[in-house]
Amino acid sequence: MRAHYFLSVFFIILFSCTNFHSIENKIVGIQPYENFSEKMTDSIVQVIHSIYNLKVVVLPTQKLPKQAFVNQKSPRYRADSLIQFQRIKQSDTINYILGLTHQDISTTKRDGNGNIKKPLYKYEDWGVMGLAYCPGTSGIVSTFRLQHKNSKVHMLRVKKIAIHELGHNLGLPHCQNKKCVMTDAVESIATIDNAELALCSDCKRKITN
């Protein structure tokens, strides 16, 4: 599969998912940013360990890098810049790093040919809920667009995105199974709610073989 963008309202990944990493004995570093909820962090640690059986460590909280801040349509942080920041700071003892923020994040949404989707004013600085390289070592999750009056629904959405983005880092592409947590959201929050907090059998097979 040639390199291209998988595009959705929040599940946007960079490059093609062609290589599946052996995840045995791998370590995930959780990077909370600026007042991110400790309770939410702990829940994400638990669900990552439960679904991927990976060792997870929580890194010291950091401030969001100023160089990632933009105010083109609204105050946001560029998700791709945060990913790059994390990769530079990533310790040799950490295989994957997943950033967590309550702030809004964005990226540039492109079509299959790599061109910015039209209208430009909408997609040049496109708000997202998560971004991760596929395969890769770094991803970012934002809770900003996942709000719900029911705190349990809100937390469930955050867990799903964390598992989804880490799945991309591990080499998992979008899944055709609409119940799989790796399904493409196709610009709809309802897709998130419809998916289960679990990998389908095909996706499980890809990361265990």
Query: What CATH number does the domain containing 174 carry?
Result: 3.40.390.10
The predicted pLDDT at position 13 comes to 42
- Note the pLDDT tens digit of each residue in 157-176: 999 999 999 999 999 999 99
Which residues are paired to 6 by β-bridges? Answer: 13
Distance CA 199, CA 209 (A): 14
Which pLDDT band, with edges at 50, 70 and 90, does 15 fall under? very low
Q: In the predicted model, is pLDDT for residue 41 greater than 70?
A: yes
For the chain, the residue count is 209
Q: In the predicted model, is pLDDT for residue 4 greater than 80?
A: no
- Note the pLDDT tens digit of each residue in 116-137: 888 887 888 889 999 998 999 9
Residue 5 belongs to a domain: no
- Outline where 108-188 has alpha helix (H): 120-123, 151-169
Residue 194 belongs to a domain: yes
The count of structural domains within the chain is 1
111-117 contacts, C-beta under 8 A, 24 or more apart: 111/5, 111/7, 112/4, 112/5, 114/4, 114/5, 117/7
Q: Which two tokens stand for residue 6?
A: 């998988």
Residue 154 belongs to a domain: yes
Q: Record the pTM.
A: 0.88
**Out of 15-24, 142-151, 174-183, least confident range:** 15-24
- Note the pLDDT tens digit of each residue in 92-121: 999 999 999 999 999 988 888 889 888 887
Residue with tokens 């055709």, as numbered in its chain: 176
Which residues are paired to 99 by β-bridges? Answer: 31, 140
- CA terminus-to-terminus distance, the chain: 19
Average pLDDT score over residue span 34-53 = 97
Q: What's the order of all strands across the beta sheet hosting 96-101?
A: 11-14, 130-133, 138-142, 96-101, 27-32, 55-58
Nearest by Cα to 100 from 59, 147, 153, 151: 59
pLDDT, mean over the chain: 89
Residue 200 belongs to a domain: yes
Q: Which two tokens stand for residue 81?
A: 């810049």
Q: What is the residue range of 71's domain?
A: 27-206
Residue 87 belongs to a domain: yes
